Amino acid sequence: MEERTLGGTGLRVSTLGLGTLTWARDTDEHTATELLRDFVEAGGTLVDTAASYGDGAAEALLGALLGTVVAREDVVLCTKGGVRRTRNGPVVDASRGALLDSLDGSLARLGTDHVDLFLVQAPDPGTSLAETAGALRHVLSSGRARYVGLSNHPGWQTARLGSLLGPDVLAAVQVEYSLLQRGVEREAVPAAADLGAGLLAWSPLGRGVLTGKYRRTVPADSRAASAHLAGFVEPYLGRTSGPVVEALATAADGLERTPLEVALAWVLGRPGVTCALLGARTAGQLRPALDLDLDLPAQIVAALDEISAPDLGYPERR
């Protein structure tokens, strides 16, 4: 598997990352072991998790596999903080205390003294960006994390926090990015590029819709048929996604490839993208992506760009 440097840093990560959102819930220990072993054996390095995934259970499961299934030094660990659990459900909290407490809990569950990359998981309207920036500087100076970044933040917040941290500090911006979600191209992607931050694209397969498995029906074993994940997939099952999925399938047929391969190749070909994060729930879902070796012809890229182009208004389009 190819490796790329993360933005302007010296950190090298695999072009495909392993996501752990479903670990310890839909993905049990046996399957997680298969996923992690197959991923690392194929040359994968970046493993993405978060303190909020399963209220820490995903991190705990990953931590139990490090040192037994794969060596800690063979993976690039990325975790996220800034979402804490309360009696009334999850609450976004990117304050200094919340971020540091979250990271300390993550390190304990992962069984390590540092993560390679720590991200603020979501924007917090109740905390100033200056305070969040101060917490990230402390995370770096204390050695808890080697690099820091943001997840799911709009472009203006990315730019502002980057300026507060100083030149070349913000290493990564993690955003949803696929043929079905290109809104980040308006401001988030340019902001990351201006700061020299690498893009980590989550859900590059359009929450599974770009694999083509929903073209005719909803498979009984799919996320869209799951009680707790159906709402996650449903926004991409409407009429607007249909033409994109069909164009992708046509391109895949012409190249004698699968829609999954073409969708991933498209994302990895976008400017600034360092890594595409795969949230496979089973080893069978992951394996077809591990041998990806596809450079899309310019004509295919242009056709897919056109049919999936995001709507632009003022001031992006004048």
Assigned domain for 224 exists: yes
**Domain ranges, residue 211:** 11-308
* pLDDT above 70 for 298: yes
Single-letter residue type at 138: H
Assigned domain for 3 exists: no
Mean pLDDT for all residues in the chain: 93
Label residues 127-152 b or e (16+ Cβ within 10 Å = b).
Answer: bebebbbebbeebbeeebbbbbbbbb
Grade residue 316 by pLDDT with cuts at 50, 70 and 90: confident
Mean pLDDT on 170-192: 97
Task: Decide: 286 and 280 in contact? Cβ < 8 Å.
Answer: yes
pLDDT tens readout for residues 199-250:
999 999 999 999 988 776 665 566 654 656 667 777 787 778 999 999 999 9
Assigned domain for 160 exists: yes
Mean pLDDT on 282-309: 95
User: Could you tell me how many helices (H) and strands (E) the chain has, helices first?
Assistant: 11, 12
Bridge partners, 92 (sequence order): 83
Assigned domain for 71 exists: yes
Find the helix or strand (DSSP H, E) in which 277 lies. strand 273-278
d(CA 63, CA 234): 32
pLDDT tens readout for residues 253-269:
999 999 999 999 999 99
Task: Decide: 205 and 211 in contact? Cβ < 8 Å.
Answer: yes
Please indicate whether residue 318 or residue 109 has the higher confidence score (pLDDT).
109
In 3D space, the residue among 259, 257, 247, 236 whose CA is nearest the CA of residue 307 turns out to be: 247
Assigned domain for 257 exists: yes
In 3D space, the residue among 105, 33, 45 whose CA is nearest the CA of residue 73 turns out to be: 45
Sign of the alpha-carbon torsion through 277, 217, 215, 230: negative
Q: What is the pLDDT of residue 85?
A: 84
Assigned domain for 242 exists: yes
How far are the Cα atoms of 23, 207, 213 from residue 234, in angstroms, in the given order?
21, 9, 14
Assigned domain for 255 exists: yes
- Two tokens at 178? 């696929």
Assigned domain for 149 exists: yes
Q: What is the pLDDT of residue 312?
A: 84
Q: In sequence order, what DSSP letters do the residues of 149-162 get, joined into one string? A: EEES--HHHHHHHH
> Around Cβ 316, how many Cβ atoms within 10 Å?
12
Count of structural domains, the chain: 1
Q: Choose the catalytic residue: 53, 147, 177, 214.
A: 53
Task: Decide: 30 and 283 in contact? Cβ < 8 Å.
Answer: no
Q: pTM value? A: 0.94
d(CA 275, CA 128): 29
Q: Is 314 among the catalytic positions?
A: no
**CATH (domain of 211):** 3.20.20.100
Task: Decide: 174 and 148 in contact? Cβ < 8 Å.
Answer: no
